[in-house]
Structure 1
Amino acid sequence: MPPALIRRLVLCFAIAVPAVALRLSGIHLPPVVSLLVFGASVVAAAFLLAWAAEAAQKDISGALAIALLALIAVLPEYAVDLYYAFRAGSDSAYTHFAAANMTGSNRLLLGFGWPLVVIVAFAVARKMRKMRKGAGKQPHFIRLPEDSRLDIGFLAILAVLAFAIPLLGSIPLWLGFGLIGIFALYLWRASQVHDAREEEFVGAAALIARMDVRRRRITVVALFLLSAAIIVTAAEPFAEALVASGSALGIDSYFLVQWLAPLASEAPEFIIAVMFAVRGMGAAAIGTLIASKVNQWSLLVGSLPVAYWFGGGGAGLPMDARQVEEFVLTATQTLLGVAIIVALRFHWWSAVGLAALFAVQFIVTDTGGRYVLSLVQAVLAVGFLVAHRRDIVPTLAAPFRRPRRVEPARVPEREAH
């Protein structure tokens, strides 16, 4: 095993071990200290998962690998969110936390993650243009490959279905099973995409990918199992510490659950996406984040009422007024994101606009203001859909049509046009 990889693994395990030791010993620390210890453990495990998932693409090629990478990368988020939903089944005090983590991570991914990757990709393209002494045109947008229509098509369908949740005022069990079924269909369709492109790896994943087949597979499986064990061990105390720390610090516990937990669990995914963008692979970076959105709106949202039911709740996860407001805001943001990229082009000014709208929600905190912001996002989405109307039907048809063979990728630095 390469020394550089050993150092990174040792660092991650050193960060994760204290949390595991505390959980096994039964020792209870003050809420804020527990939050830091168990939160650090979740982040460390998330990095291990992300490295293993990315390296696994060496043996699993194509769109299915991207879908699985996106799924595995957000497993820490799933663990925390499903814990809240499960507890809500027997303790109504946890009901409003059940979907908080999901709505926060969903908006964080699109409002911060997508723009970050696009802006980094444009900065890299501009730098490479200067290195070539001004050769070529100034980049204006990132062009996504044609096979991205599969992910965007599924995300479009899920974005429309998302509006059923605030209309119903709950996430019924039947809708949950339907969303899980859509995720299964998504994985099946992704497995049928024949991708001729050569995978590129960065950071620790590159070190793992360069191992011989036997050692690489043993390392990947070991990292999956160990990181999963760490996450399962740390998820419950981390979730409880989030709620307790809010009370101890005088901060809204809902705010911590909605934003701090997703920031911790999705940090590795953002870092990997940025590393792809830095290497001129902006389309690949965006593709991974789009797949994560599909996972969140299908498997994660669909699993919440199932976890609630297993925890002793009824046949649907109830939503209070705040949850309805959050889902409306999240659904309209998703619809806007789909409308922007449905033409397979992601302009830099669209990325800036998404980031600005995401920032506004932290200033406009009252219910009326949130609904106005949701309306603004919906109107902008309609405008983009009208502008990109020729791409709507091909994108919506992509999840149901026979996939075509994907040609080798273009030179990375030409992804920004």
Structure 2
Amino acid sequence: MQTPTFIKVLKLITFTFLAVAVLALGYYLKLKGVIISAVIIFAAVLIGYGAEVLELVLPSGVALAIVALLQISPEFFVEWATVKKAAFDPAFLHNAMANLYGANKLLVGFGPPLVFFVYYFFSPTKKENYIKFHAIKSYSVFVMIFGIAYNFIIYLKNSLMWYDSIVLIAIYFGSVFFIGRMELHYSKLKPSAQEDGPELEDSAVEKLIHKFVIVGEKVNAYRAYIASFIFLATGGALLVGFAEEFLECLLHAATAAGVSTFIFIGYVAPFMSEFPEKLVAIGYAMKGHADTAMVNFLSSILAQLTLLTAMVPLAYSYYKGTPTGIVFDAVQSQELLLVIAMMLYSLMLFLDLKFTIRETIMALGLFIWQFVMPESRDTVTKVYFVLFLSYFLEMVLEKRHTDVIETVIKPKDICRD
């Protein structure tokens, strides 16, 4: 028997009341950090809902790219706050870069294993000990090459300047345009490649949204845009108002706990601000759409490698009052090289459009290693590069792991299969 709508609404009101009560209690107990953290997570969840609604009215590949960008937008607000502080306090620049590269490491190292384990243990449609990507996802994997390549150029020149932002922004939007064009071309060659759209029918909130945006059996685009705007605007307003206070709370928490601010800002902040990304990916994986969940992460990684990185020198220049940039110190340079190594290794894993349990365990193990022992970043980086080279040589010498390249270069041949 289906739960009546008024019961769902009552549950939602009850949950909201309890949440407000907890926040009020935190206020009276002077638990400012708890309140601010709850607000940031709540804002991130609102943006996640707004992104999901928007996905109902956008084409597949472009939708994933735009939605992934919206899902990680809270991280942009937090990074902006760290860069603003660094512009007036040069000693804080180390933490601003820690947040940038920590966010990338978290998505690359923790995201894919998270999707795999949720899919493996909780999806009712699990059939194999691996995740197999649909061929149409090849384009989302392929464009990662361009973001990685320019970040390597940034590493070689040991600086992140305002003009790098122009190139990075162009790479992102060029990639989105390329994905849209190629997926449309692929779909024309093979109409069956079109996938089912996302579903908003799990929680009480999602069912209420579904009732609002669905008229008859079709999505009402006008209503979907309105609902999406309300969620995104509300979440964005909360982030604008509380991002800086959230940063200050993290700094105080790190000091009180005796933990390095590098760890707090590099991992705790992005973990909380990227909450909607993880939530949506987990939802996809539990429904059996593990490849969509994985591409969702890849789209977010591309956005962070390009747009988030581009925002840093632009924000820094804005608060400095002149076009400028950031010259890396030894640690920042090592962190960037580690991110590049992680990305290259992950890219090789996805080139065969498959993610296995062995690769999952290896990827998670390496991430935990560099998280627990940050001082070993140089050694971990070398391990990532060795693994990347071994996969690359295997691909070249034995002609394996080329599904993505074949799909991009010869889509007609793939569509005949």
The superposition leaves residues 110-157 of structure 1 with CA deviations (integer Å, 9 ceiling, x where unpaired) of 2212111112223356x657xxxxxxxx61321112222222122122
Contact 1:12 1:44 in 2 (8 A): no
Partner of 1:92: 90
Q: 1:335 aligns with which of 302, 323, 344?
A: 344
> Aligned residues: percent identity?
23
Equivalent residue for 1:358?
367
Aligned partners of 1:96 and 1:319 also within 8 Å: no
The residue type equivalent to 1:67 in the other structure is: A
State the shift of 1:271 in Å: 2.1
Among 245, 256, 268, the alignment partner of 1:260 is 268
Q: Distance in 1 between matches of 2:37 and 2:121?
A: 32
In 1, Cα distance between equivalents of 2:327 and 2:10: 46
C-alpha separation in 2, matches of 1:286 and 1:70: 11
The structural deviation recorded for 1:274 is 1.4
Paired with 1:374 and 1:340, the residues of 2 have a C-alpha distance of 16
Instruction: Give 1:119's match in structure 2, choosing from 114, 117, 139.
Output: 117
Higher share in helix: 2
Alignment-derived partner of residue 244 in structure 1: 252
Question: Structure 1 length normalisation: TM-score?
Answer: 0.83
Structure-2 separation of matches of 1:54 and 1:230: 19
Whole-angstrom CA distance in 2 between matches of 1:242 and 1:110: 23
Give the conservation status (yes or no) of the 8 Å contact 1:157–1:396: no
Q: 2:131 aligns with which of 126, 142, 151?
A: 142
* Mapped pair 1:274 → 2:272: no
Amino acid at match of 2:147: L
Q: Cα RMSD between the aligned structures?
A: 3.2
- Counterpart amino acid of residue 155 in structure 2: P
Find the aligned partners of 1:148 and 1:365 in 2 and give their Cα distance.
33
Counterpart of 2:308? 300
Q: Secondary structure of 2:199's match?
A: coil
How many pairs align? 387
Tell me the residue number matched to 1:371.
378
Distance 1:8 1:264, change over 3 A: farther
Which is further off, 165-174 or 4-13? 4-13
Render the CA deviation track for 1:318-349: whole Å, top value 9, x for unaligned: 32222222112111111110011011111111
Q: Which amino acid aligns with 1:123?
A: F
- In the other structure, the counterpart of 2:69 is 71
Q: Distance in 2 between matches of 1:123 and 1:140?
A: 10
Tell me which residue corresponds to 2:162: 173
Per-residue CA deviation, residues 167-197 of structure 1 (Å, 9 max, x unaligned), is 3222122212211111121222233333632
1:1-33 alpha-carbon deviations (Å, 9 max, x no partner): 95536855885698589999x9xxxx9997xx3
Kindly report which structure 2 residues correspond to 1:46-85, keeping only aligned pairs within 5 A, or say none. Answer: 46-85=44-83
Which 10-residue stretch deviates more, 236-245 or 222-231?
236-245
Pair 34,333 (structure 1): closer, same or farther in 2 beyond 3 Å: same
Mind listing any 5+ residue stretches in structure 1 that lack a counterpart? 130-137, 408-417
Tell me how far apart the structure 2 counterparts of residues 244 and 28 of structure 1 sit (CA, whole Å).
19
1:387 maps to 394
Deviation at 1:86, TM superposition (A): 2.7
1:220 to partner: Cα distance: 1.9
1:413 aligned residue? none
Q: CA deviation at 1:314?
A: 5.3
Q: Could you tell me how far 1:262 is from its partner in structure 2?
A: 1.0
1:108 to 106, 122, 139: 106
Distance 1:10 1:73, change over 3 A: farther
**What are the Cα deviations for residues 244-300 of structure 1, in whole angstroms up to 9, with x where unaligned?**
332233221121101111111122221221121111111111111111111110110
Tell me, in whole angstroms, the C-alpha distance in 2 between the residues paired with 1:124 and 1:329. 32
* More moved, 157-166 vs 94-103: 157-166
SS at match of 2:372: coil
Report the 3-state secondary structure (helix = DSSP H, G, I; strand = E; otherwise coil) of the residue aligned with 1:163: helix
Q: Are the structure 2 counterparts of residues 15 and 402 from structure 1 closer, same or farther at C-alpha, using a change threshold of 3 Å?
A: farther
Shift of 1:163: 2.3
1:13/1:44 contact within 8 Å kept = no
Letter aligned with residue 210 of structure 2: A
The Cα offsets for residues 326-379 of structure 1, whole Å up to 9 and x where unpaired, read as: 11211111111001101111111101110000011133332xx32111000011
Contact 2:40 2:238 in 1 (8 A): yes
Call closer, same or farther: CA 1:28–1:122 in 2, change over 3 Å.
Answer: closer
